[in-house]
């Protein structure tokens, strides 16, 4: 008992020593603000309040915490001039405008600009550093929410005497095009994925595939690859023919799901293999049954860029009909929409739309992944068509077109 007391005392003593060292090492609050080439001195602090992360990001190491507070207080308007000029005398380009229209941000200057850009995570931010520049905005940027929901804030500052920093913070993630066009910098967001909270009440496919939906949930992966698929020399895609071997899948109208999914998947793989852009991996080439975790393992192990799983639906009622496409992670939504657009045209069946569900193969795979339900095997008319080779070819062509379009645009 006594020993434990000494141990705790020693621990507390050490902890307090460490804490006081940290407090003493903390620099006195000083934020350098440069405006029109002159150093400005912050006067009355709490004009604007922003969090510490934003300040450090905009003012580099010059920001510091208010004693015991969780926010920084800096003044943007109430500033005093001090007699200190920047030492480097190079003609600087003036940043005269910041314009945001929907998912595009333009930085305007009065001369040729040079800029660097990079991203930061949690939350996802795009940072643009305009070199040898100074802020000379005519009016402050007002964030326009019209036509976009992804941009949360746009912050900007004279980061250092020679660098103007613009930080675009997103609620979610995106890739982007970055262009310097003479006196303008253009940042155009693409492949936008709003941050979606995982729902615990996701609908499972009620008419089939319930086994695949019964596995407990994990958080979807919201980090997306930054190398655009369009610029990749080779896009690796995993084609997953549903069921197989000892697992026939749904049965109806004397047909087995596993045969139809294999037929369509083989034709799709053939299309993809004819396109030099793709490297194709199939989870099964014949009538075998890889377990679901094995299919996921193949896709993740191969570090595939895309995943597609082909299934056929079923229901107790023979009148149930239509085509649907499933996705689970936020980054798979555009992929699902693009594939579905072509698929629905090809089947001509009624549109059961693009839906979100946590089927294991699209939930645990780390790349954009979709699961298509071509039609209902229990519906006599749809079953008959799906058994037809020509129909299968048409569906495979459509899936290929959807995949190719997604690759070209992302």
* Residue 247 Cβ vs Zn ion, minimum distance, rounded to whole Å: 9
Question: CB under 5 A: which stretch of 163-171, 274-282, 311-319, 398-406 binds Zn ion?
Answer: 311-319
* Residue 263 Cβ vs Zn ion, minimum distance, rounded to whole Å: 14
Nearer to Zn ion, 258 or 401 (CB): 258
Q: Quick one: which H or E segment has residue 260?
A: helix 257-273
Nearer to Zn ion, 42 or 242 (CB): 242
Question: CB under 5 A: which stretch of 109-117, 122-130, 306-314, 331-339 binds Zn ion?
Answer: 306-314
**Is it true that the peptide bond before 123 is cis, omega within 30 degrees of 0?**
yes
**Is 373 labeled as catalytic in the residue annotation?**
yes
What is the pattern of x (binds Zn ion, CB under 5 A) and - over residues 193-232?
A: ----------------------------------------
* Residue 249 Cβ vs Zn ion, minimum distance, rounded to whole Å: 5
3-state secondary structure of 47: coil
Residues 333 and 174: beta-carbon distance below 8 Å: no
Question: CB under 5 A: which stretch of 72-80, 88-96, 237-245, 401-409 binds Zn ion?
Answer: 237-245
Nearer to Zn ion, 249 or 322 (CB): 249
Nearer to Zn ion, 295 or 311 (CB): 311
Nearer to Zn ion, 36 or 210 (CB): 210
Interacting positions 72-131 with Zn ion (CB under 5 A): none
CA angle centred on 336, ends 334 and 341, rounded to 5°: 95
Q: DSSP code of 220?
A: P
The answer to whether 39 contacts Zn ion (rule: CB under 5 A) is: no
For the residues of 296-351, what is the DSSP string, one character each? HHHHHHTT-SEEEEEEEE--SSTT---EEEEE-SGGGHHHHHHHHHHHHHHH---E
Nearer to Zn ion, 136 or 204 (CB): 204
The answer to whether 311 contacts Zn ion (rule: CB under 5 A) is: yes
Q: DSSP code of 244?
A: B
CA–CA separation, 54 and 70 (whole Å):
12
For 162, the token pair is 């020679």
Cα of 14 vs its chain's centroid, Å? 44
The answer to whether 284 contacts Zn ion (rule: CB under 5 A) is: no
* Residue 390 Cβ vs Zn ion, minimum distance, rounded to whole Å: 23
**In this chain, which of 63, 249, 322, 368 binds Zn ion, going by CB under 5 A?**
249
The residue from 324, 373, 389, 405 that is catalytic is: 373
The answer to whether 244 contacts Zn ion (rule: CB under 5 A) is: no
Residues 244 and 289: beta-carbon distance below 8 Å: yes
How big is the site for Zn ion, counted in residues (CB under 5 A)? 3
The answer to whether 242 contacts Zn ion (rule: CB under 5 A) is: yes
Question: CB under 5 A: which stretch of 54-62, 247-255, 325-333, 335-343 binds Zn ion?
Answer: 247-255
3-state secondary structure of 30: coil
CA–CA separation, 113 and 93 (whole Å):
7
Q: Which residue is nearest to Zn ion (CB)?
A: 311
Please enumerate in sequence order all residues whose Cβ is within 8 A of that of 170, keeping only pairs 6 or more positions apart, or say none. Answer: 123, 124, 125, 126, 150, 151, 152, 189, 192
Q: Which residues bind Zn ion (CB under 5 A)?
A: 242, 249, 311
Annotated catalytic sites, by residue?
A: 373
């Amino acid at each position: 008992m006594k020993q434990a007391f000494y141990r705790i005392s020693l621990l507390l003593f050490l902890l307090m020593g460490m804490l006081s060292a940290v407090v003493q090492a903390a620099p006195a609050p000083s934020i350098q603000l440069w405006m029109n080439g002159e150093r400005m001195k912050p006067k009355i602090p709490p004009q604007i309040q922003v969090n510490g992360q934003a300040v450090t990001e905009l003012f580099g190491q010059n920001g510091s915490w208010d004693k015991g507070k969780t926010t920084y207080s800096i003044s943007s308007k109430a500033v005093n001039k001090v007699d200190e000029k920047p030492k480097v005398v190079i003609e600087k380009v003036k940043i005269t405008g910041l314009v945001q229209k929907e998912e595009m941000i333009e930085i305007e200057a009065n001369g040729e600009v040079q800029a660097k850009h990079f991203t930061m995570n949690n939350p996802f931010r795009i940072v643009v550093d305009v070199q040898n520049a100074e802020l000379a905005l005519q009016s402050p940027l007002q964030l326009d929410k019209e036509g976009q929901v992804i941009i949360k804030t746009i912050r900007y500052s004279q980061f250092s005497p020679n660098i103007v920093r613009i930080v675009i913070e997103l609620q979610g993630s995106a890739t982007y095009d970055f262009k310097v066009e003479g006196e303008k910098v253009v940042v155009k967001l693409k492949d936008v994925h709003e941050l979606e909270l995982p729902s615990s009440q996701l609908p499972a496919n009620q008419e089939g595939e319930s086994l695949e939906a019964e596995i407990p949930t994990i958080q979807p992966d919201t980090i997306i690859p930054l190398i655009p698929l369009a610029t990749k020399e080779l896009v690796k895609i995993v084609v997953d023919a549903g069921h197989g071997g000892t697992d026939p899948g749904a049965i109806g109208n004397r047909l087995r799901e596993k045969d139809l999914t294999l037929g369509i998947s083989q034709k799709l793989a053939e299309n993809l293999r004819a396109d030099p852009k793709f490297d194709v991996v199939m989870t099964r080439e014949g009538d075998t049954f890889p377990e679901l975790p094995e299919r996921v393992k193949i896709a993740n192990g191969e570090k595939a860029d895309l995943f597609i799983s082909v299934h056929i639906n079923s229901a107790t009622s023979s009148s149930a009909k239509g085509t649907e496409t499933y996705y689970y992670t936020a980054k798979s939504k555009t992929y699902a929409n693009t594939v579905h657009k072509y698929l629905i045209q090809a089947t001509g069946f009624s549109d059961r739309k693009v839906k979100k569900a946590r089927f294991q193969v699209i939930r645990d795979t780390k790349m954009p992944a979709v699961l298509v339900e071509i039609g209902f095997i229990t519906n006599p008319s749809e079953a008959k068509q799906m058994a037809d080779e020509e129909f299968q070819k048409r569906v495979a062509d459509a899936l290929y077109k959807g995949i190719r379009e997604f690759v070209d645009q992302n």
